[in-house]
Amino acid sequence: MKKKKRSLLLATTIIGLSAILSPLVTVGATNNYTVSNWTREHVTNIELTDRNTAPVINMDELEKFDEDYHTWDSWPLKNKDGSIAVVRGYQIIFALSAPSHVLPGQVHDIAEVRYFYSKNGKDWTNGGPVFEDGDALGSRQWAGSAMIDEDDQLHFFYTATGRKGEEHITYEQRFAKASADVVASRAGISFENWSDHQIILEADGEYYQTQEQGSQGDIAYAFRDPEFFKDPKSGEEYIIFEGNSSGAPADRACLPEHIGSPEFAENHDVPEVSVLFNGSIGIAKATNEDYTEFELLPPLLEANCVNQELERPHIIVKGNNYYLFTDTHFDKYAPGITGPEGLYGFVSDDLFGDYKPLNGSGLVIANPPENPYQAYSWLVLPNGTVISFVHFTDLGDLTIGDIGHQSHEFQFEHFGGMQAPSLKIALNQDRTHIVTELKQGAIR
């Protein structure tokens, strides 16, 4: 794949313009790159087929890690190189959790990270909250990632949402990091000798929208879901994350590169409110060995005028290719274009290269039309196994926005709050397909 070089615009130095101009970016002395776009034209190529549509989930056959807790976003402990860690025979999964009696719509307001471990990948023990009481930053913790290094040190990255002790919940999102020793014994897995929790990154307002900018007429801002990534080609280490393109709506515009080819644009209407849809996939480079200092770099990809939320982005390297995956919801698309709740992906032979949507549209896994909200928060593991959680099943004609208006009984009955059956996908250059369904929560 050839890197497309556009004319050198010095937009990165002009606050607010970086989102408008999609420039060739100069990072340090050596790194030049173009921010890739997921366009409205790409999205109109979305088509559900048996290669990308997940089998229907039957919740009756599934069980929670622990009946007392809902869990949703999850991530296994990984080694630095992204492979799944096995610590003295144990696999370890971290998951956002809330007690089972909490209504589905409220779980995000009290999310706490728990961990679960297993020797056989089927029977899981609830290890309890990951962090020691009162240590975690934020009023609650949202998704992140966890890496174990050569010295059995856990490096844990998470989203600190709101502020500790706040009276009413707020939505500020910052990245936090803490480390601990991973201790494995016959009794199971525990984390000991915790470091202080530190804020390691905040939105800068130049590359990534701040909460303040996002409050000037936008739908919402995101700066969350830090995912550790070591580039096997350069050896450099990064955090990949969900952001929004910077600036307030008044500073942004829907430009030709957000729409697609001139032929497409000619017959395609872009409703004005599309400018409020500014999802982006961000990247920051580790600049110290403790992973407490990072340099924010311009986004790898933006979905301006296309989609509002590119959640839990992560990278898998296969052969010479970087596969950049993200999740989004049906109701996060800008008006005039549409796509299913699904896993989407992009491919490039250069980490900072020109990412092309997989399968021509970006769609990799879609929920089936008969059960359009059945799973969410897909995470692709290096072996092509994809984990996710059961969201809402068998809703009939209701959409996700209607759920909060239903009886509590109805909400609990249709909410999963547990691991979904995993899927195996195959990646072939810029094409993917679902190979098979695996057991619930399988990570191998």
Binding region: 72, 143, 224-225, 278, 309-311
| Among positions 172, 206, 218, 311, the unique one binding ligand FRU when judged by CB under 6 A | 311
β-bridge partners, 347: 323, 356
Shortest distance (Å) from residue 315 CB to ligand FRU: 17
* Contact characters 323-362, ligand FRU, x per CB under 6 A: ----------------------------------------
Judged by CB under 6 A, the number of residues near ligand FRU is: 15
Active-site choice (311, 327, 341, 354): 311
Nearer to ligand FRU, 24 or 239 (CB): 239
| Among positions 96, 275, 366, 390, the unique one binding ligand FRU when judged by CB under 6 A | 96
Active-site choice (73, 227, 327, 341): 73
| Among positions 112, 218, 225, 237, the unique one binding ligand FRU when judged by CB under 6 A | 225
Alpha-carbon gap, residue 103 to 248, rounded angstroms: 33
Shortest distance (Å) from residue 215 CB to ligand FRU: 19
Q: Is 302 a catalytic residue?
A: no
Nearer to ligand FRU, 11 or 130 (CB): 130
Following DSSP, what letter does each residue of 163-207 receive, concatenated?
-TT-SS----EEEEEEEEEEEEETTEEEEES----EEEE---SSS
Shortest distance (Å) from residue 77 CB to ligand FRU: 18
User: Is residue 123 classed exposed, middle or buried when 0-12, 13-18 and 19+ CB atoms within 10 A define those classes?
Assistant: exposed
Distances (CA, A) of 439 to 66, 151, 364, 385, 444: 17, 32, 20, 11, 10
Residue with tokens 């296994």: 76
Which residue ranges make up the annotated binding site for substrate?
72, 143, 224-225, 309-311
β-bridge partners, 93: 76, 116
Alpha-carbon gap, residue 391 to 220, rounded angstroms: 22
| 426 touches 432 (CB < 8 A) | yes
Which residue ranges make up the annotated binding site for Ca(2+)?
278
| Among positions 33, 38, 116, 142, the unique one binding ligand FRU when judged by CB under 6 A | 142
Shortest distance (Å) from residue 119 CB to ligand FRU: 28
Does 365 participate in binding ligand FRU (rule CB under 6 A)? no
| 323 touches 315 (CB < 8 A) | yes
| 199 touches 176 (CB < 8 A) | yes
Distances (CA, A) of 236 to 179, 239, 353: 20, 10, 16
Alpha-carbon gap, residue 372 to 400, rounded angstroms: 9
Local structure of residue 259 (DSSP, 8 states): H
Q: Is 242 a catalytic residue?
A: no
Following DSSP, what letter does each residue of 100-160 receive, concatenated?
TTS-GGGGGGS-EEEEEEESSSSS-EEEEESSPTTTSSSSEEEEEEEEE-TTSEEEEEEEE
Which residues from 402-421 bind ligand FRU, rule CB under 6 A?
none
Position of minimal CB gap to ligand FRU: 142
Residue with tokens 């934020």: 138
Longest dimension (CA), the chain: 66
* Contact characters 178-217, ligand FRU, x per CB under 6 A: ----------------------------------------
| Among positions 34, 36, 53, 159, the unique one binding ligand FRU when judged by CB under 6 A | 159
Alpha-carbon gap, residue 226 to 430, rounded angstroms: 25
Nearer to ligand FRU, 214 or 353 (CB): 214
| Among positions 54, 111, 200, 395, the unique one binding ligand FRU when judged by CB under 6 A | 111
| Among positions 65, 238, 376, 378, the unique one binding ligand FRU when judged by CB under 6 A | 376
Catalytic residues, by residue number, are 73, 311
Q: Which stretches of the chain bind ligand FRU, using CB under 6 A?
A: 72-73, 96, 108, 111, 142-143, 159, 224-225, 242, 311-312, 376-377
